Structure formats: structure tokens, C-alpha cells
A = this chain, B = another copy of it.
């Protein structure tokens, strides 16, 4: 019964206040949701008239709210539930940002993915006005991460967010959208079918109760949740002063891994990311493999540095390398001249030249030798 009262109190407070109201979160963390709700409800003036907040609270019916949600396939997950993603509790000790902060009253969820599975999740977010380059990279990172079993979390917005959800969905991997409106709403409306799919194959999450519409404040509160839910945040493209940088700020504040994908310095969509990389706030990543290496447990995922193809040079003896090093690029020289330059006997030089010639590394211009194009590659 106590647990049920806690759930009802949290559902009521979730409906009463804006998501991410930091003072309320602090009070609830200190006193518990039931005490805070009862205290707010008891607030009346000397004439016994309910305060504005108490009046609004009296109009809220959390039992009906939870029943309605249940009918829509929406569950309300609160701290203490088995499914609660405990990493979100890190918000309790983080400073507010843009007047948003604190642990949510609860999370409204639609979809089969359990929130505790988000312990292994990666946020892939960025500009709504993404370039095709950015969308391509976001899709690759999401697909690689999801294929490796990591849940890809994003905000269902146009541009990078959409590319991230799509990339994960296209490999049948787990992906979750965190919304600024109620999970029964489709915002943006153009993404309704994608959100419908996520609600069946992944999950759609919001701190705002069903029925709520999105607002700027709710986007800011939502961004903090994306950072808090995930092990790391990848910013794929972000203009200066964009919402993605707000998410980045939260990831940094919560000591999550913060990663940025570089792009052309001539692209406004990459400017914000370059600022994060330049200041050292974010680490540069170029692929899903890079991301997995940074967020994965040590040794789990090792991104192999791309190496030049193994060069023919590597197969040479030291002597052959010395001779090759002495062969000029432009006009040819005689074997005798090479012997003098390399400081090696003429016989040895001829042996080495013969092998280098067979390997296609030097060209023979009637006994004058010069480097072949292959040796310069």
C-alpha cells in the first residue's frame, strides 16, 4: 500500500509540475513524494482557500491517470522499481542547468525495452538541420552500436536523431526515443510512424505525463534525461548554441563519456562539435567502433587504428632499404653513384637493385636507377 501511495504521489507531482523542476526534486529527495504532495495539498490561506498549487493538485486524479496510461500501454516507472534506471539518480547531485535538474518524479514508458537495460546505452544526438554527411555518420554509429547490443537513445527529432533511430532499427537493434511531450503524442508529427514502431520494437520515454505537449523547457529537461540515461553521448553535428550542446553539457556535468564527430570546418553544422573537441570537453570519434571503444568496458571493444596497407618496404632487408633510400625520385643515377651515396659496396648494391627491381620499387633507365611510383605511394 505504501508503495502504491508513493506511485500515486509521484504521478500527481509529475502532472502538477514541469519536468525537471529542481526545487521539487530536492524536496522529494529529502522528504519523499507522499510528504511533499500532502504538504502542497494542505497549503491554504487564512480563510481556508486553497493555494493555487493546492487547487491544481486537487484537480489531478493520479489513479485515473495511471489507468488511462495503462489502457494506452503506457507504464509509469518510479525510483525503487526493478526496472528503474539507477544511473538517472546521478541527477540528484548535479547542479541545475537552465533552471532544469534533479531526478524525475518518474518516467512514462511505452514499449518492450526495460529501462534497466539502458545501463548499456549510447545517446546519438545532433542538429535537426543535419547534412547528409552527418546523417550518414549518425546512422553508421547507431547501427554499429546497436549491432553490438548497445541501445541507441535519441530524441526522435528531425536530422541526426532520426538518422540514429533509423540506423539502429535497420539492423534490428534496440533504440529508445526520449520525448519532450507525452509518449502518447507524436512530435514531430512527421515522425508518427517511426515513434509507433519504436513503441512496439523499442521504447518511447518521457518525464512529462501523457497528453503533455512539447515546450522549450521540456526540451531542456528532456536533454538532461538523455545524458543521464546513457553511458555516453555522441554529438554528430551541432551548430553553435544548439540543443545538442545542452545535452553535451549535461553529459559532461554527469561525468558521462562525451564524444564528438568532426566534420568540414566550413560546415556550420559542425561548428558546435568542433568547439567541444577543441576545448577538450568531448573526445573525437570517427565511427561506431571508436564509440564502442570509449564507452565499452576496458578491452571489450578495441578500435583498431586504421593503418596504411602493409608496405612492400616492410619486407626489405636493412641493406635493401638503405639502397632504396639512396635511389633518387626524379632523374636516374648509376649503381656506382648509389654505392657511394649509400656507403655500400657496388656488388651488394647490384644485388639489392636487382631485388628492388623485381619488386617494382625501382626503375631501370639503361643502367641508371630511379624510384618507381610504387615506392612513393
Interface residues of A (CB under 8 A from B): 18, 52-53, 56, 133, 136-137, 181, 185, 187, 189, 213-217, 239-242, 261-266, 270-271, 274-275, 277-278, 283-287, 290, 305-308, 324-331, 333, 340-341, 343, 371, 375-376
- Of B215, B270, B375, which contacts A328 at CB under 8 A? B215
Is B216 touching A325 in the complex (CB atoms < 8 A)?
yes
21 contacts between A and B (CB under 8 A): A18-B326, A18-B341, A52-B340, A52-B343, A133-B266, A181-B330, A187-B330, A213-B330, A215-B326, A215-B371, A216-B324, A216-B325, A216-B329, A216-B371, A216-B375, A217-B326, A242-B308, A262-B274, A262-B277, A277-B277, A284-B284
Is A343 touching B275 in the complex (CB atoms < 8 A)?
no
Bound: A331/B133 CA distance, A? 33
Question: What is the CB-to-nearest-CB distance from A286 to chain B, in angstroms, rounded to a whole number?
Answer: 4
**Residues of B contacting A326 in the complex (Cβ-Cβ under 8 angstroms):** 18, 215, 217
Question: What is the CB-to-nearest-CB distance from A376 to chain B, in angstroms, rounded to a whole number?
Answer: 8
Is B285 touching A340 in the complex (CB atoms < 8 A)?
no
- Of B240, B270, B305, which contacts A275 at CB under 8 A? B305
Chain B residue nearest in CB terms to A375: B216
Bound: A217/B325 CA distance, A? 5
Bound: A265/B236 CA distance, A? 11
**Residues of B contacting A264 in the complex (Cβ-Cβ under 8 angstroms):** 133, 262-264
- Of B53, B241, B265, B371, which contacts A261 at CB under 8 A? B265
**Residues of B contacting A240 in the complex (Cβ-Cβ under 8 angstroms):** 305-308
- Of B214, B329, B340, B343, which contacts A329 at CB under 8 A? B214
Chain B residue nearest in CB terms to A216: B325
Bound: A216/B305 CA distance, A? 25
Question: What is the CB-to-nearest-CB distance from A29 to chain B, in angstroms, rounded to a whole number?
Answer: 21
- Of B185, B189, B284, B328, which contacts A278 at CB under 8 A? B284
Question: What is the CB-to-nearest-CB distance from A309 to chain B, in angstroms, rounded to a whole number?
Answer: 9
Bound: A56/B337 CA distance, A? 11
Stoichiometry, as copies per complex, reads 2
Is A266 touching B330 in the complex (CB atoms < 8 A)?
no
Is B278 touching A283 in the complex (CB atoms < 8 A)?
yes
Bound: A92/B215 CA distance, A? 63
**Residues of B contacting A189 in the complex (Cβ-Cβ under 8 angstroms):** 330
**Residues of B contacting A266 in the complex (Cβ-Cβ under 8 angstroms):** 133, 136-137
Chain B residue nearest in CB terms to A185: B330
Chain B residue nearest in CB terms to A53: B343
Bound: A241/B314 CA distance, A? 13
**Residues of B contacting A287 in the complex (Cβ-Cβ under 8 angstroms):** 265
Per CB-CB distance, the 3 closest pairs between chain A and chain B, nearest first, are A241-B308, A262-B262, A213-B328
Bound: A286/B286 CA distance, A? 17
Can you add 8 more A-B contacts, CB < 8 Å, to A187-B330, A263-B264, A278-B284? A133-B266, A181-B330, A213-B331, A240-B307, A263-B263, A274-B286, A278-B285, A284-B284
Is B271 touching A306 in the complex (CB atoms < 8 A)?
yes
Bound: A52/B56 CA distance, A? 100
Bound: A261/B274 CA distance, A? 10
Counting chain B CB atoms within 10 Å of each CB, the highest count among A53, A133, A330 belongs to A330
**Residues of B contacting A136 in the complex (Cβ-Cβ under 8 angstroms):** 266
Is A284 touching B308 in the complex (CB atoms < 8 A)?
no
Bound: A377/B56 CA distance, A? 32
Bound: A43/B189 CA distance, A? 88
**Residues of B contacting A340 in the complex (Cβ-Cβ under 8 angstroms):** 52, 56
Question: What is the CB-to-nearest-CB distance from A100 to chain B, in angstroms, rounded to a whole number?
Answer: 10
Given known contacts A137-B266, A328-B215, A343-B52, A307 and B277 CB-to-CB distance under 8 angstroms: no
